[in-house]
Amino acid sequence: MDSVYRELNTPNGTMLMYPAYKNHAFDGALARVFNKGVKENAGIFCHSQGWAILAEALLGRGDMAYLYLREMAPAYMNEDADRRVMEPYAHAQTIEAKDSPFAGRAHVHWLTGAATTVMVAIVEGILGIKPSPKGIEINPSIPGDWKNWSMTKIFRGKKLNISISNPNGNQHGVKSTTVNGNKLDNNFIPIEQLKDVNDILIEM
């Protein structure tokens, strides 16, 4: 992942590959039908950006996970809408990368799985909410400057009021989990311990 950031990252997301094909390619390399920096030819695919977010979160590098989110999330593009040329609330399939004269321009909205890929990366990766048949794990990977934050989730009909305390500015690692006043041995909450409404405190 260090190599991904060093070799492939741009202000608009991570490229699929680099350098782009121009005067060379192997037989059958369909990427060369696109201009440099566009789609498969060293462009940015928002699906794989979601995987980069999740990978960094799984490594416990919350700062990097959030950086990758901010680079391509539509909500952060409002000040750059004229270059992006796409609705500020819609995910793109691809974004033109640094070798394109139109770097930052987005393509293929409303016809992409990027939104669901990024949603999983945010919920399971950054926020650390991981359901399983027997309960739910809460294990965030967040930016170090997120000192306190909260969220509410409905999980199998039960309301979870989750508060995260991060006084030491950690990016990952749960120190303690308390559910309705009872401290657990780890950060996995069995379904049988949940009431209709639950107050959950996670200390990092």
Q: How confident is the model at residue 191 (pLDDT cuts 50, 70, 90)?
A: very high
pLDDT at 28: 66
Least confident of 5-14, 29-38, 99-108, 121-130: 29-38
Q: How confident is the model at residue 25 (pLDDT cuts 50, 70, 90)?
A: low
Does residue 166 surpass a pLDDT of 70? yes
pLDDT digits (tens, 9 = 90+) for 52-76: 999 999 999 999 999 999 998 888 8
Backbone phi, psi, residue 15, to 5°: -75, 155
Distances (CA, A) of 8 to 78, 100, 119: 24, 15, 22
pLDDT at 133: 94
Map out the domains of the chain with their CATH numbers: 2-120 (no CATH), 129-203 (2.60.420.10)
What is the chain's mean pLDDT, rounded? 93
User: What is the value of pTM for the model shown?
Assistant: 0.91
Q: What is the mean pLDDT of residues 146-174?
A: 96
pLDDT at 60: 97
Does residue 179 surpass a pLDDT of 80? yes
Does residue 77 surpass a pLDDT of 70? yes
Does residue 18 surpass a pLDDT of 90? yes
Q: What is the mean pLDDT of residues 32-52?
A: 91
Range of 71-80, 110-119, 160-169 with top mean pLDDT? 160-169
